[in-house]
Amino acid sequence: MDETDGALREAAALVREVPDFPEPGVLFRDIGPMLASGPALGAVVSALGRSAEFDVVAGVEARGFLVGAAVAQAFGTGVIGLRKPGKLPAVADRIDYALEYGTAALELPADTLRAGQRVLVVDDVLATGGTLGAACSLVRQSGAEVAAAAVVLELTALRGRRNLPGEPVEALLQV
Ligand SMILES: O=P(O)(O)OC[C@H]1O[C@H](OP(=O)(O)OP(=O)(O)O)[C@H](O)[C@@H]1O
Ligand SMILES: Nc1ncnc2[nH]cnc12
C-alpha cells in the first residue's frame, strides 16, 4: 500500500451510510464528511486528476461541482458544470435518464466545450450509471472527447458499469 492508498483508505472511512434516504430502501452514501476533511479532499482531488490527461473538467450537478472544481484548480484547467434542467440561460444539449431513485436530466451549457477537447467528467457517486452515461454522451455529442469518467465512489451492487459500455470509468473507491 503506497501513500496514496493510505490517504484514500482514510478518506473512505469518512463516508457516512444513511439508511432509507432519500426514500425507503435506499442506502445513501454521504461523502459530505469526506469532503469536509482537508486531507481527505486533497487525496481525492489528486487521485481523480491523475485519472487521465485532460484539457477541461466537466462536473455533474450538484456534488460533482464540489469535486470537479477542486480537481480543475489543482491541475490548472477550467471547469464546466453539467446542470439539472431550468438553471442555464443558454443550453447546447440535453439528455434525460433514469436514476436509482426517480428520473433526471442533464444539460450542457452553450459555448463551453470545443470539438477535440479532452474532458475529465467528474461526479461523486456511480450508482446505476445513468448520470455518468448522460454526462459522457453530452460531452461526446458536442464533439469533445471523454478522457475519463471519474467518480469518487462506485456502488458496485448497482452495476452501473453495465450501463456504461466502452466508457473509460475510473472509481477511486468501491463499496
Ligand atoms: O449512477 P446514478 O444512478 O445515475 O446515480 C448517481 C448520481 O446520483 C446522485 O445525484 P443526485 O441527482 O441524487 O443528487 P445531487 O444533485 O445531490 O448530486 C449522485 O451525485 C450522482 O450524480
Ligand atoms: N445510494 C446512493 N448514495 C449516494 N449517492 C447516490 N446516488 C445514487 N444513489 C446513491
Tell me the pLDDT tens digit for each residue of 19-64. Answer: 999 999 999 999 999 999 999 999 999 999 999 999 999 999 999 9
Q: Which ligand has the nearest atom to the CA of 60?
A: 1
- CA–CA separation, 157 and 175 (whole Å): 8
In terms of Cα–Cα distance, which of 170, 134, 174 is closest to 157? 174
CB 31 within 8 A of CB 57: no
Q: In ligand 1, which atom is closest to the CA atom of 100?
A: 3
Strand order, beta sheet including 169-174: 78-82, 56-60, 118-126, 145-154, 169-174
- CA–CA separation, 8 and 29 (whole Å): 16
**Residue 99 CB-density burial (10 A; 0-12 exposed, 13-18 middle, 19+ buried):** exposed
Asked whether 125 lines ligand 2 (CB < 6 A), one says yes
Distance 111 CA to ligand 2 centre (A): 30
Name the residues annotated as catalytic. Answer: 63, 100
pLDDT of residue 31: 97
Stated pTM of the model: 0.96
Rounded mean pLDDT of 118-125?
A: 98
Return the bridge partners of 118, or none.
145
Distance 32 CA to ligand 2 centre (A): 12
pLDDT in tens, 56-111: 999 999 999 999 999 999 999 999 999 999 999 999 999 999 887 789 999 999 99
- For domain 53-174, say whether CATH 3.40.50.2020 is its number: yes
Rounded mean pLDDT of 158-172?
A: 96
Q: Which ligand has the nearest atom to the CA of 59?
A: 1
Cβ neighbours of residue 108 under 8 Å, at least 6 residues apart? Answer: 80, 82, 91, 92, 93, 94, 138, 139, 141, 142
- Asked whether the predicted pLDDT for residue 1 surpasses 70, the reply is no
pLDDT of residue 5: 83
Write out residues with Cβ below 6 Å of ligand 1.
60-63, 99-100, 104, 123-132, 160
Asked whether 126 lines ligand 2 (CB < 6 A), one says no
Q: Which amino acid is at 128?
A: T
Query: What is the separation of C-alpha 173 from the centre of its chain, rounded to a whole number of angstroms?
Result: 12
Return the bridge partners of 102, or none.
99
Give the CB-side neighbour count of residue 83, counting CA atoms within 13 A. Answer: 16
pLDDT of residue 99: 83
Q: What cell does 5 get?
A: 492508498
pLDDT of residue 102: 80
